[in-house]
Amino acid sequence: QSALTQPPSASGSPGQSVTISCTGSSSDIGGYNYVSWYQQHPGNAPKLMIFEVSARPSGVSDRFSGSKSGNTASLTVSGLQAEDEADYYCSSYAGRDNYVVFGGGTKLTVL
């Protein structure tokens, strides 16, 4: 059982926006602004898409955005494209004992 809770699936049509949630606790998401999001296509390694709640690494499309409210973080993908179909994982710093925790992942389908 993952420390962070994500919906198992999400979907949207090309051009639409979709938001994926990630719920934790005051010990992780709620306690620190260190939420990250990763995209993983089948057979590939994860790719960092968002770090520190809302920052984008160089080269990541601005169609990807992150936010946080309380113990829940969110990833929004705008202007959905076929290439966005992938698994998405959230993670958070969880303090010096647990350090880094992941969500169970959300499979995003572009209809």
Partner 1 sequence: QLQVQESGPGLVKPSETLSLTCTVSGGSISSNSYFWGWIRQPPGKGLEWIGNAYYLGTTQYNPSLRSRVSISIDTSRIKFSLTLSSVTAADTAVYYCARQGGYGSPKYAMDVWGQGTTVTVSS
Point out which residues bind partner 1 (CB under 8 A): 2, 32, 34, 36, 38, 44-48, 51-52, 55, 57, 89, 91-93, 96-105
Q: Hey, CA dihedral for 85, 94, 69, 65, is it positive or negative?
A: negative
Q: Closer to partner 1 by CB, 77 or 101: give it.
A: 101
Residue 32 CB, nearest distance to partner 1 (Å)? Answer: 8
Is the separation of the CB atoms in 78 and 18 below 8 Å?
no
User: For residue 13, which amino acid is it?
Assistant: S
Residue 13 CB, nearest distance to partner 1 (Å)? Answer: 26
Q: Closer to partner 1 by CB, 19 or 98: give it.
A: 98
Question: Distance between CA atoms of 104 and 52, rounded to whole angstroms?
Answer: 19
